[in-house]
Amino acid sequence: MTDEYRWWQSGTIYQIYPRSFQDSDGDGVGDLNGIVSRLDHLVSLGITAIWISPIYPSPMADFGYDVSDYANIDPVFGSLADFDALIAAAHARGLRVILDYVPNHSSDQHPWFIESRSSRSSAKRNWYVWRDPSADGGPPNNWISEFGGSAWSFDRASGQYYYHAYLPQQPDLNWRNPQVAAAMLDALRFWFERGVDGFRVDAIHHLFEDEDLQDNPPNPEWLPTMSPARSLIRTRTMDQPEVHDAIIAMRRVADSFPGDRVMIGEAYLPITRLMAYYGVDLGGFQLPFNFHLMSTAWNAAAVATLVETYEAALPAGGWPNWVLGNHDRSRVASRLGPAQARIAAMLLLTLRGTPTLYQGDEIGMTDAPIPPERVRDPWEKRVPGLGLGRDPVRTPMQWGEGAQAGFSSAEPWLPLPPNFEPTTVASQLRQPTSMLQLYRALLKLRRSEPALSIGGYRAVSADENVLVFERFYQERKLAIALNFDDHAKQLSVPGGTGRVILSSHLDERPSLEDPVELRPSEGVIIDLN
């Protein structure tokens, strides 16, 4: 019945931030064996695939997003043998495994960069982006690093600057050099051969910059309370046309392996620009991440407009996807509060398109306070005090009781928040109406109802801050009604009469209802058949 759909269409992806998921060896940092020991949590949650943030050898200047070897495992996470065991354990449970691929930049400790910087005549000089100083000896142009400061660092020995979209420890690879592209595509093959089911491709919109190095124009809307990188409009450093050929090459590698391998792109772009990342004839990413739920105003009308705009913009045959949180953004339960976070969960898991969950959101974890002496994120260190730091969303997964919440036997690399006890997997399993139970119920329903996983979508209304839409598959028809308000609302059931099969409050409802009483911040799924 549903065979024509791929696992990455009908399934749900769960992001693991490996430093903070589960520590198995008592060093306060999560690792691969830790992930294996927690796979059963993910199976009972009901997800389909795990995406693991980078686990490659890294000096950890950006906690793994600075890769010094694309074909190995950092010892803090384990070994290649541990990785093979993780793949086997996941596949044995029917879980797919997606890795993070960081093509835009390597670590400055990668042998390629060490060789590249060794002299102007190095055979690998052209593997990175080197330029002469400007006339006054300063950087070649005005480009700013995403993490603050000039995007150019001077190499005294060779007298040139190199470009880095992020940290000076993350020099940008030169994808205009075919040798770089070939070496980076080999990295994909290495992991596909080991059985990975796909990649999430990091910072893809940064892969190319303007070759003529023209300045980025100033952004008139920038305020000093915003990230310094936003003081320029990044027309010359982001979303350049050449990126699409590189994506096609990555996708071809994925398609050259048997099974349904998936390529997911990380690009923070307006909807119209994002659509190009599906590629001509869908030869690009199967899933260009859609982050717009994280930035759209949280009310029924704005969310309805977003869904409509996004659905209308999709290329023919393009599959939608939705994201509520990740390791870079404030947690959904902090952005929206605990009551509306439940509405957000119901929205994410009933919209048409592949949902991606971020670890800890299934128990409603909030941004954790980080005392100044515990700050680890280089962004917070370079641009302090603006709330840009990402440590608060990267604190250890809260599994259960005890000093370290079951995460580790040692002091974790980032602190647990005070009073975390109600927000653990163990306590929420005992509590019948907890956030975890809601996520489990929603995922169970999504797995059993093709209308939710692969069915069609129809907007119904977005009045009085209540969003109503339908999902349908063959004869099956469901309505979803979400109350974005903290007041009760009355809802007339589309088509006259229906049966609430799931309330976000997780309690029993009368068997047939019309109108349906929506309590404050309540969402319901209504069986219309």
Q: What strand order describes the sheet that includes 499-503?
A: 456-461, 466-473, 476-483, 523-527, 499-503
Question: Torsions phi, psi of 221, nearest 5?
Answer: -90, 0
**Binds Mg ion (CB under 5 A): choice among 17, 22, 31, 377:** 31
Compute how many other C-beta atoms are within 10 angstroms of the C-beta atom of residue 320. Answer: 18
Cis amide prior to 415 (ω within 30 degrees): no
Closest CB 488 distance from ligand GLC, rounded Å: 40
Q: Is 172 in the site for ligand GLC (CB under 6 A)?
A: no
Among residues 323, 321, 325, the alpha carbon closest in space to that of 353 is found at: 321
Q: Is 472 in the site for ligand GLC (CB under 6 A)?
A: no
The answer to whether the CB of 498 falls within 8 A of the CB of 479 is yes
Closest CB 299 distance from ligand GLC, rounded Å: 28
Amino acid identity of residue 450, one-letter, is P
Closest CB 133 distance from ligand GLC, rounded Å: 26
Q: How far apart are CA 225 and CA 243, in angstroms?
A: 31
Among residues 32, 31, 84, 309, the alpha carbon closest in space to that of 190 is found at: 84
Question: By C-beta, is 25 or 84 nearer to Mg ion?
Answer: 25
98-137 positions binding ligand GLC, by CB under 6 A: 102
Q: Is 328 in the site for ligand GLC (CB under 6 A)?
A: yes
Question: By C-beta, is 13 or 500 nearer to ligand GLC?
Answer: 13
Among residues 364, 331, 326, 323, the alpha carbon closest in space to that of 347 is found at: 323
Question: By C-beta, is 51 or 469 nearer to ligand GLC?
Answer: 51
Among residues 168, 135, 145, the alpha carbon closest in space to that of 232 is found at: 145
**Binds Mg ion (CB under 5 A): choice among 5, 25, 375, 461:** 25
**Binds ligand GLC (CB under 6 A): choice among 38, 41, 51, 62:** 62
Question: By C-beta, is 50 or 346 nearer to ligand GLC?
Answer: 50
The answer to whether the CB of 284 falls within 8 A of the CB of 244 is yes
**Binds Mg ion (CB under 5 A): choice among 13, 16, 29, 324:** 29
367 binds, among ligand GLC, Mg ion, none (CB under 5 to 8 A by kind): none
Residues catalogued as catalytic: 202, 266
User: For the purposes of burial, counting CB atoms within 10 Å of the CB of 156, is it exposed (0-12), middle (13-18) or buried (19 or more)?
Assistant: exposed
Closest CB 355 distance from ligand GLC, rounded Å: 18
**Binds Mg ion (CB under 5 A): choice among 10, 27, 185, 513:** 27
Closest CB 62 distance from Mg ion, rounded Å: 19
Q: Is 203 in the site for ligand GLC (CB under 6 A)?
A: yes
Residue nearest to Mg ion (CB): 31
Reported for 503-507, long-range contacts at CB under 8 A and 24+ positions apart, including other chains, are 504/342, 504/343, 504/345, 504/346, 504/438, 505/433, 506/432, 506/433, 506/437, 506/438, 506/441, 507/433
Closest CB 438 distance from Mg ion, rounded Å: 31
Question: By C-beta, is 103 or 523 nearer to ligand GLC?
Answer: 103
**Residue 470: which H helix or E strand, with range?**
strand 466-473
**Binds ligand GLC (CB under 6 A): choice among 17, 51, 127, 166:** 166
Binding site for Mg ion (CB under 5 A): 23, 25, 27, 29, 31
**Interacting residues with ligand GLC (CB under 6 A):** 62, 65, 102, 166, 202-203, 266, 327-328
